Structure 1
């Protein structure tokens, strides 16, 4: 028996209530993950600087592979939410099964290939000595956890498509707590070092998936997984690739772009890199609400497009914009008003005044673009929810590769401008990419349904 209670809220409820109800768990989940990453880093750092560096060194490789899983997850949320909105529950069940099987195949292949290729990947990245040794250990074990990571992405997309953003948050929170508990046991008590940190992560991911599968089987109101008589459906696979591939390219392209960006910033010196890292931590905290609202918008837009309620889609976009711009403007005012105090709080050591001065300058520049950073998340949610992920891909890649990085290179090599060129490029790229997003929004091509009724 289908129980579309949350669907009723999304399709007919007060829109501000819908946005807040769906986005708050996502914000909480992001906050939990931030705390977990800090705790995880703390345990690993006790092993030594080389071991700690190894876990950070291989992260871009892990994320490049994981970006495929994220792409499939985005496609899943978009497709499934539109089918739920159209009350095509049986079709949603079939799509969900296709998504899970595809994810399992890719993740197992990646796990096997990654396990055996890890030494070559680490060597290709330039690591030698102890860094190569510990990086290889951590990367190999992390690859073995890919099936669990990809399956949890599936769980996320299936639950989010139904408007249930709370269940994934609760599971992520439990998993994070278990991971933090297991870390010292495997790292120190069992004396497994870096391998122990990776094993603790994989075990917590596995638990996450087993509980997630149970919830899907017993407590998923509108979408049920059923693999009895499973066969691949060519049309469904084509649609999943059509929507998921641009998202995958956008995720991996952005990850690679930020890696390149970091190398450019590092070329200005350690003070500039430290200032950049410090201000990023500050802005990432303030950007949690807009990011949560943007993620929630994906399922809100998807369900209402599926139900042919484009007036509700426009209402969701406009009211999300009002909330995000209001929060961003308040945040901007606070950051500019208390810039020195904020930098002093986050920079506990006062030995390097150059870092503090550059941090204050960067904070002032990036504060001005906070409303545009918020709108970036809103446009991403709108385009992904509608299934037109090529536009969200263009925004993710375009902001870095076509605006920010070229501007930094021009300022540095042609105009001989110092770190201010970076800060201006960061801020101005946020503005320009939102201009692009607004143009796409106004043209309205994203309104074309990607999932036809009775498909």
Structure 2
């Protein structure tokens, strides 16, 4: 389906068809990205559970830095989709060019800072011995791919805002296949160990950014940013920051919270860290349909907001909520029925039996909140599509800092639940944040467009 046809579907067509046609490629893309991490994890877990724990231990640190890129990407999807809905293509191109330059500058800065501070960060988080050694090796290399990751975020943002979710998926698939091929070669054949997994991901992401931008300029994209005579536009930068900053703060706050959470989890031992990481990757895999619907909703809400179609925005939100709830209950059932088989498949190293036991226990707790995780994604999609990212920010930060972490502290200090207190807190916090999100929705403060389209 051509880009213009997708916009017609988003603005005037069957909403279920619009949601599914946009979300299915995003689901596949997200699934590919999750498999990216799972493949790394499976190969690294063949070395030892400590190696695997190291990849999980430093993940929130890397995520803290890339949260800025995620925020800018969401700002791009929100603003560009609204401009397309209002038929302001020239302005959409200008916003896209400003977005890309701003993103690259941020990525270069974060890469340099991240590589420099890695040993100090790992030490501050409390890692010692082999966990610290492998964490530093892995984290430093992952910072090298930040520019390429941010560039692909930009490409995906520009494509998604037009309703083109297919090409980012195809390119991610190519990159994931390359990563899968390179992992065992770099880890075992070249004997690079955990560094090999990081280098395989780096090469794959370089390819991903390159082919994405070749398609942007050689394909039939409605939005084609130009850089000849480029100058920063204060008004456009303000628009991007206005929408992107709350999301970045929300993502960053969540990332810092996960760093603190990892420190709490680490106090229960390396086996608990490994179990926590493995189950999170499994649930990420199962929750891809819901996350895809949330991302698709951002573009649908954005274009319809730009076209002043509030009733269609509401209808899209209601139908996305219904679909994601169905997917969530199916995922919950799969995880509860096949819990032991799933854990044994993904945790290849059996050097520590307690990792398997802890993983199965965590999976039983978190499975029940799978429908809630889907609803959370749909609420995020609604708020991000209208550009009211301050609400998605409060949901991100509130879930972790005001519910999850305090509950974990209470269970740790006043009960003998052990790791089960962490698992219960993870699940219960999803319920609280969804109730909060629905209260915001019912108040209706999310309705208006984030930018003054009539002034452009």
- In structure 2, the partner of 1:162 is 162
Mapped contact 1:81–1:299 kept (Cα < 8 A): yes
- In structure 2, the partner of 1:259 is 259
How many residues align? The count is 449
1:58 aligns with 2:54: no
CA shift for structure 1 position 280: 4.0
Q: Deviations over 1:67-92 (max 9, x none)?
A: 11111111111111111111100000
CA distance in 1, matches of 2:367, 2:183: 37
Q: Deviations over 1:154-213 (max 9, x none)?
A: 001111111111111111110111122233444455555544433332222111111111
CA distance in 1, matches of 2:302, 2:161: 8
CA shift for structure 1 position 355: 6.6
- In structure 2, the partner of 1:403 is 403
1:342 aligns with 2:338: yes
The 5-angstrom pairing of residues 58-97 of structure 1 reads 58-97=58-97
SS in structure 1 of the partner of residue 446 of structure 2: helix
Q: Deviations over 1:241-283 (max 9, x none)?
A: 1111111111122122233334434556778767655654554
- In structure 2, the partner of 1:302 is 302
> Residue 127 and residue 318 in structure 1: after superposition, are their counterparts in 2 closer, same or farther (change >3 A)?
closer
CA distance in 1, matches of 2:13, 2:298: 16
- In structure 2, the partner of 1:445 is 445
CA distance in 1, matches of 2:365, 2:401: 20
The 5-angstrom pairing of residues 252-331 of structure 1 reads 252-265=252-265, 267=267, 280-331=280-331
- In structure 2, the partner of 1:375 is 375
- Unaligned 5+ segments in structure 2 are 345-349
CA distance in 1, matches of 2:17, 2:282: 28
SS in structure 2 of the partner of residue 447 of structure 1: coil
> Residue 83 and residue 367 in structure 1: after superposition, are their counterparts in 2 closer, same or farther (change >3 A)?
same
> Residue 273 and residue 129 in structure 1: after superposition, are their counterparts in 2 closer, same or farther (change >3 A)?
closer
Deviating more after overlay: 252-261 vs 297-306: 252-261
- In structure 2, the partner of 1:238 is 238
Mapped contact 2:3–2:163 kept (Cα < 8 A): no
Structure-1-length-normalised TM-score: 0.88
Deviating more after overlay: 11-20 vs 255-264: 255-264
- In structure 1, the partner of 2:151 is 151
CA distance in 1, matches of 2:269, 2:211: 47
Mapped contact 2:84–2:162 kept (Cα < 8 A): yes
Deviating more after overlay: 121-130 vs 171-180: 121-130
> Residue 357 and residue 320 in structure 1: after superposition, are their counterparts in 2 closer, same or farther (change >3 A)?
same
- Unaligned 5+ segments in structure 1 are none
CA distance in 1, matches of 2:312, 2:48: 53
Q: Deviations over 1:349-383 (max 9, x none)?
A: 8x9699759945x5555444333222111101100
Deviating more after overlay: 207-216 vs 119-128: 119-128
The 5-angstrom pairing of residues 125-144 of structure 1 reads 125-127=125-127, 132-144=132-144
- Larger radius of gyration, structure 1 or 2? 1
CA distance in 1, matches of 2:408, 2:305: 40
- In structure 2, the partner of 1:429 is 429
CA shift for structure 1 position 411: 3.6
> Residue 281 and residue 54 in structure 1: after superposition, are their counterparts in 2 closer, same or farther (change >3 A)?
closer
CA distance in 1, matches of 2:132, 2:12: 55
CA distance in 1, matches of 2:31, 2:312: 29
> Residue 305 and residue 113 in structure 1: after superposition, are their counterparts in 2 closer, same or farther (change >3 A)?
same
> Residue 137 and residue 266 in structure 1: after superposition, are their counterparts in 2 closer, same or farther (change >3 A)?
closer
CA shift for structure 1 position 292: 1.1
Two-structure CA RMSD over aligned residues (Å): 3.0
CA distance in 2, matches of 1:119, 1:417: 33
Deviating more after overlay: 100-109 vs 175-184: 175-184
- In structure 1, the partner of 2:347 is none
Q: Deviations over 1:298-319 (max 9, x none)?
A: 1111111011111111110011
Deviating more after overlay: 284-293 vs 222-231: 284-293
